[in-house]
Amino acid sequence: MPRTINILFVASEADPLVKVGGLGDVAGSLPKALRALLPEDINGYTLDVRLVIPFHSVITHHLPNLQLLATYQITHPCGPIPARVFVTEINDIPVYLIEGAPILSSTAVYSSNPIELGEKYVFFSLAALELAIQPGWKPDIIHFNDWHTALGAYELAIRRSKEPAFNNIRSVLSIHNLPFMGGEAEGIVRSYGIPPSTNEHLPVWARAFPLSLGLTATDHIVAVSPTYARELLTPEFGCGLQDFLKTRADSISGILNGIDEKAWDPLTDPVLTSNYSSIDLTHREFNKQSLVEEFGLPYDPSTPLLIMIGRMDNQKGMDLAIEGLRLVTDQPWQVILLGTGDPLLETACRSLEVELPDRVRAVIRFDLQLSRRMYAGGDVLLMPSRYEPCGLAQMIAMRYGCIPVARQTGGLKDTIQDNREPGGGTGFLFKETSPAAFTVALLRALALFSDHSAWKAMQIRSMTQNFSWKKSAQAYTQIYCNLLEGKS
């Protein structure tokens, strides 16, 4: 009879309940992919995967059969803080929702108030760990994600040495974005009486940050792409933790995120003007025509439509794209820029639209449906990220036949084959972080776009890439099995 591995997946957000960024996609998809694996896929094991997130005030999704599961208290020097746990089921996955005063007092998933943010996620991390020893179901593995939950891995290691109930529980911590270490929660960590790390390899400044604490204590670390796992060990990407991370190199893996290929399918996507597939791209052009006309741009099938979608901040290289576009105004192109974020970058996007009103549209808002129509109508996705741990936009874009121009870093390097590689590739990569380097790659894309048959062939190659979660889920399962068998 196959052995069952119980896995508690701990995250700050999860689609479809609540989604702010890429972590919401991962937490909404990976547990489902793990649970769908068959015993023959994973050395005869079966997986019982359950998800826990905060009961955010913004969660308005219909919660079927929501039930109060447990109540308990989280220790604090000023007095215990009550926690309540509710359970529901979403996409056949049991989902636990944790409620408590620090969560109820926050009106946003990620508050702009650092104290409120720190209180919320320190409490949640500890409450999620306490859930693991409540009666009824006990995890073998707790999978934590980013700084918002990493403190749980540190506290698990402390309590594992003192309390038998935690003895056989192992932990995994995924790094989705290393620069965000939870430094704003340092004071909150100390206020809960949690001791700082004494790891001599960890910089003194990081010894009470939730993420760095979790990294010292977790049984295994996962970076969300193979290239990012290597980059973390370098000064450019290690954020001051690279020397410490080198001491843990044997316990670090890089596993590429995937996408839900049923949710992201241009043949069935209900918001598109016209559906299509890699077998027949004829109707794809209707999406482009509809999109440019919606935004008052002149439609010309021979003019490439560039798109950029996502958070507007320094990481994503929006400034590189804006300056690079100014360098190629002698070429035919149109661009739609969608997103919100840094006010300076939002202003820069609007300024570019004012400067080039016949070819630029700046759409400063968060709009999931529009983003889908942009993937289906755009010819080229701009993704000049300074760093990109994994990235989902490039995978979604390729799935929809929108070709990426991207910096050769992290998951972008792992998912995009440059057009100069044998076979013609699936996109256009550049190395140097500069508008000039971005422009050179963009010019290669614009040149190929004029060759209709070559461009169509690249679209078909891109659309037929396998970015499903199954391979990634199998890799995670191997780590879980190794931990339970006493391997790192």
What is the spatial distance between Cα 449 and Cα 452, in angstroms, rounded to a whole number? 6
Phi-psi group of 193: left, alpha or beta (phi > 0 → left; psi -120 to 50 → alpha; rest → beta) = left
pLDDT tens digits for range 45-85: 889 999 999 999 999 777 888 999 999 999 999 999 999 99
What is the spatial distance between Cα 52 and Cα 12, in angstroms, rounded to a whole number? 8
User: Would you say the C-alpha torsion 223, 225, 226, 230 has a positive or negative sign?
Assistant: negative
Which three-class secondary structure state does DSSP give residue 183? helix
Which pLDDT score is estimated for 199? 96
Nearest Cα to 121, choosing from 131, 132, 109? 109
* Phi, psi (degrees; rounded to nearest 5) at 207: -80, 0
Strand order in the sheet with 46-54: 67-74, 81-90, 93-100, 46-54, 4-10, 141-145, 170-175, 220-223, 252-254
Determine what percent of the chain is predicted with pLDDT higher than 70: 99
Which pLDDT score is estimated for 487? 67
Phi-psi group of 410: left, alpha or beta (phi > 0 → left; psi -120 to 50 → alpha; rest → beta) = left
Which pLDDT score is estimated for 160? 93
Which pLDDT score is estimated for 1? 52
Q: How sure is the predictor about 464, in pLDDT bands with cuts at 50, 70 and 90?
A: very high
Nearest Cα to 362, choosing from 297, 413, 315? 297
Which pLDDT score is estimated for 488? 61
Poorest-confidence range of 14-28, 191-205, 287-301?
A: 14-28
pLDDT at 90 over 60: yes
- Please check whether residue 241 is in contact with residue 207, taking contact to mean a CB–CB distance below 8 angstroms: no
Nearest Cα to 219, choosing from 263, 169, 177, 146? 169
What is the spatial distance between Cα 337 and Cα 308, in angstroms, rounded to a whole number? 5
Q: Which helix (H) or strand (E) holds 365?
A: none
* Phi, psi (degrees; rounded to nearest 5) at 142: -110, 125
Mean residue pLDDT of the chain comes to 95
Measure Cα distances from 344 to 89, 314, 373, 418 in Å: 42, 10, 26, 32
Q: How sure is the predictor about 278, in pLDDT bands with cuts at 50, 70 and 90?
A: very high
Which three-class secondary structure state does DSSP give residue 383? strand
How many other C-beta atoms are found inside a 10 Å radius of the C-beta of residue 382?
Answer: 30
Reported as half-sphere exposure (CB side, CA atoms, 13 A), residue 274 has a value of: 14
Amino acid at 427: G
Six-digit token string for 309: 């979608």
Measure Cα distances from 464 to 275, 282, 374 in Å: 16, 16, 19
- Please check whether residue 400 is in contact with residue 463, taking contact to mean a CB–CB distance below 8 angstroms: yes
DSSP alpha helices (H): ranges in 37-144? Answer: 101-104, 114-131
pLDDT tens digits for range 158-194: 999 899 999 999 999 999 999 999 999 999 999 999 9
Measure Cα distances from 169 to 94, 251, 406, 479 in Å: 19, 17, 40, 14
What is the spatial distance between Cα 335 and Cα 208, in angstroms, rounded to a whole number? 44
Which pLDDT score is estimated for 329? 96
pLDDT tens digits for range 217-235: 999 999 999 999 999 999 9
pTM greater than 0.85 (yes/no)? yes
What is the spatial distance between Cα 301 and Cα 288, in angstroms, rounded to a whole number? 8
pLDDT at 133 over 90: yes
What is the spatial distance between Cα 94 and Cα 85, in angstroms, rounded to a whole number? 12
pLDDT tens digits for range 391-435: 999 999 999 999 999 999 999 999 999 999 988 899 999 999 999
Which pLDDT score is estimated for 223? 97
Which pLDDT score is estimated for 337? 98
Which pLDDT score is estimated for 327? 97
Which pLDDT score is estimated for 2? 62
